[in-house]
Structure 1
Amino acid sequence: MKLPSQHNKMAGNCEACVLKALKSRTKKLSLDNNALKTLSVSVGRLGFLETLSAKNNDLLSLPEEIANLRQLGYLNLGGNKLQSIPTCVCGLPKLRTLHLFRNCLTSFPNQLPSTLILLNLNHNNLTTISPSITQLTSLKQLSLANNALTQLPPEIGTLHSLEELHLNGNNLFTLPYELGKLRNLKKLMLQKNSIKALPISIGECRKLSTLDVSGNQLEIFPAELQLLSFREFHFENNPLLPYIPVPADQYQEVIPLKEVASRAIVTEIRKDSALLSAMVSYYPGVQDQLDKAGDCAVCGQPFVSLWLDCVHFELSKKVFQKLHTSSQGYLPMKAQLCSYKCFNSEGHKLFGIAEPPIF
């Protein structure tokens, strides 16, 4: 049932449409494009309603009677003037889809229905995401494009059902390591931010098939990116390291005793040394540091707190065989070495990363 879009009849038509819906017991009601400033409290009588759309109006609030729509699964309030998400929406027990795009929201709600599968908050004024996002355990699609976000909370990693995450057009500089916990993520849109580095944990998102990082501040990609099988990967308009090898002399450094000991401990623990594992477990801080140990890209030996950042260049089509992209050319992929001894060895195609001179 659709309400006619004559502005001069909006209030009367709204009430008439609600009464007609009440009589026919329709499960779908559209009140779109009518410059409505409020909804009739009579809407709360439509307890059988499953779909309600009131987009492109001038709504500033919703009547509390909306909470009576216990069967409502789809609610579209996009294109209004809401400054916060009404509390009456948060208690809807069957709500699965909620559109609130193009409103005036400035803060992420502290409470939302845990039944949500799709949440669209595009084109608002959000600056942060509340840690309460952890309650959205069923969420599969989260759209936060074109807001004013500067960071994501680590709690984003608790959304284990998430398949699509849209964050394009924000002010993000970094991404949390916990992003790698989104093991069901298939699509990640990050274009037009200010991101300088992707977390190495992105390699854990093994189902990720679409990634757009165009228009950021990326200079290099983590090697773990090669673990993924992309169908779409866009990386244009980033200040990527150019493929211009320059010869330079590198000398073997003296590795501090603390780093030598740490590497030896990691090596023994990886050999299933029960004694060392038990001893380290008494020191959580040490355990955390050792858990983050990396492996040298040349010799395969571990390093803990001292390493050498390097880069190797691969053609995008070679790295991602099934890739569909408008971006072409060499991809600078990060590699880490345990020492200059490995860097100076032969047989690898790794380059050191040098800062350009400033004139």
Structure 2
Amino acid sequence: MRMGSGGSSGREERLPSVCEEQLSGGDQMLELTGRHLKHLPGPVCALSSLQKLYISGTGIKELPEEIEGLQELRILALDFNKLEEVPEALCRLPHLTRLYLGSNRLFGLPAEFSQLQTLRCLWIESNYLYHFPRALLQMPWLQSLQMGDNRLKTLPNSLPRMRGLRGLWLYGNRFEEFPKPLLRMTQLHILDLDRNKLTEFPDLTHLQRLRVFSYDHNPVEAPPSVADTVMVVGEGAQEFLEAREERLQKLREQEEEEQEENESEALQANMKNDSSVLDDGEGSYSALECSPEET
């Protein structure tokens, strides 16, 4: 099957046989992971109905402008390559929901990246990000952001604009103080700050939607204060969780005892009311015994 030109190379190429085999099954997915590629074959970019493209660990250093032709693409895996920048053409994929850019050589993201408004999951761990990409602040519906093993020291004050964010992974960065913008990220479910340089935590009990907080391998002396629904992971967390479970168990037992006492008191009160009705010879009891004619 002959298809188009060879992307940026400008020469005719055949679609690799492995691609033809995969597409023959009708599944709009290509799996090229682990294959040594000097560049992305041009005919791949001509597959306008392709929905999933996995080209992890291939060693490619750049992407052709023709990648914009993958207008139906939903998932794109580019991790474990040698990319030094994200081309603007990639930012013009209107249906992309998951993008994996981890373990490349990226120092940032282009301003045009904010055009990916359908994106819900971005993994950009193990790169060279010294600053939080500003383009992400214009993506309020991003839900999962994996930024571990970068070079971040601070987070922008406008981070809460990302109101759709549910999971945020910031392990292996260079935070020396707990980033204050995180205190306003009340919608977070998962927050990972492993392997930073944090020596203390503020009170986090107001983050009521938080379910997992990981802080392992920080020079902090004690676990943070969190809501009782949060699973904490880190040094001293096991003792913290055991003590919390013991406290919650005592509260549950106390509530059960109070409920039993209340039910017992209510039962006794009902019995007294019934007894007073039966004992009233001149009142309700006689009325109950009277026939309609007598009343």
Match of 1:143 among 138, 141, 146: 146
Counterpart amino acid of 2:82?
K
Counterpart amino acid of 1:127?
Y
Partner of 1:181: 184
Counterpart amino acid of 2:79?
G
State the 1:160 CA deviation: 1.3
CA contact (8 A) 1:127 1:149 kept: yes
Per the alignment, do residues 16 and 185 of structure 1 end up closer, same or farther by CA in structure 2, a change over 3 Å counting?
Answer: same
More displaced stretch, 22-31 vs 180-189: 22-31
Partner of 1:56: 57
Deviation per CA, 1:209-229, whole angstroms, max 9, x where unpaired?
A: 11111111324566xx34352
Of all paired residues, the percent bearing the same amino acid is 27
Partner of 1:102: 103
SS in 2 for 1:38: coil
Counterpart amino acid of 1:28?
M
**TM-score, structure 2 as length reference:** 0.71
- Between structure 1 and structure 2, the one with the greater Rg is 2
State the 1:156 CA deviation: 2.2
Aligned Cα root-mean-square deviation (Å): 2.8
Answer yes or no: is 1:233 the counterpart of 2:236: no
State the 1:184 CA deviation: 2.4
Per the alignment, do residues 233 and 16 of structure 1 end up closer, same or farther by CA in structure 2, a change over 3 Å counting?
Answer: same
Superposed, 1:199-278 pairs within 5 Å as 199-200=202-203, 202-219=204-221, 225-230=225-230, 232-236=231-235
State the 1:132 CA deviation: 2.4
**Distance (whole Å) between structure 2 residues aligned to residue 210 and residue 154 of structure 1:** 23
Partner of 1:117: 120
State the 1:315 CA deviation: 5.2
Match of 1:318 among 243, 246, 267: 243
**Distance (whole Å) between structure 2 residues aligned to residue 42 and residue 229 of structure 1:** 51
CA contact (8 A) 1:215 1:237 kept: no
**Distance (whole Å) between structure 1 residues aligned to residue 100 and residue 127 of structure 2:** 12
CA contact (8 A) 1:226 1:319 kept: no
Counterpart amino acid of 1:66?
I
Per the alignment, do residues 60 and 199 of structure 1 end up closer, same or farther by CA in structure 2, a change over 3 Å counting?
Answer: same
Counterpart amino acid of 2:235?
E
Counterpart amino acid of 1:236?
E
Per the alignment, do residues 18 and 180 of structure 1 end up closer, same or farther by CA in structure 2, a change over 3 Å counting?
Answer: same
Match of 1:156 among 159, 165, 187: 159
State the 1:169 CA deviation: 1.1
More displaced stretch, 115-124 vs 16-25: 16-25
Per the alignment, do residues 226 and 31 of structure 1 end up closer, same or farther by CA in structure 2, a change over 3 Å counting?
Answer: closer
CA contact (8 A) 2:108 2:129 kept: yes
Q: Report the count of equivalent residues.
A: 234
Unaligned runs of 5+ in 2: 1-11, 249-295
Partner of 2:134: 131
SS in 1 for 2:53: strand
**TM-score, structure 1 as length reference:** 0.59
State the 1:134 CA deviation: 1.3
SS in 1 for 2:145: strand
> Higher helix proportion, which one?
2
SS in 2 for 1:211: strand
Superposed, 1:62-77 pairs within 5 Å as 62-77=63-78
Counterpart amino acid of 2:209?
K
Partner of 1:30: 31
Per the alignment, do residues 229 and 77 of structure 1 end up closer, same or farther by CA in structure 2, a change over 3 Å counting?
Answer: same
Per the alignment, do residues 13 and 237 of structure 1 end up closer, same or farther by CA in structure 2, a change over 3 Å counting?
Answer: farther
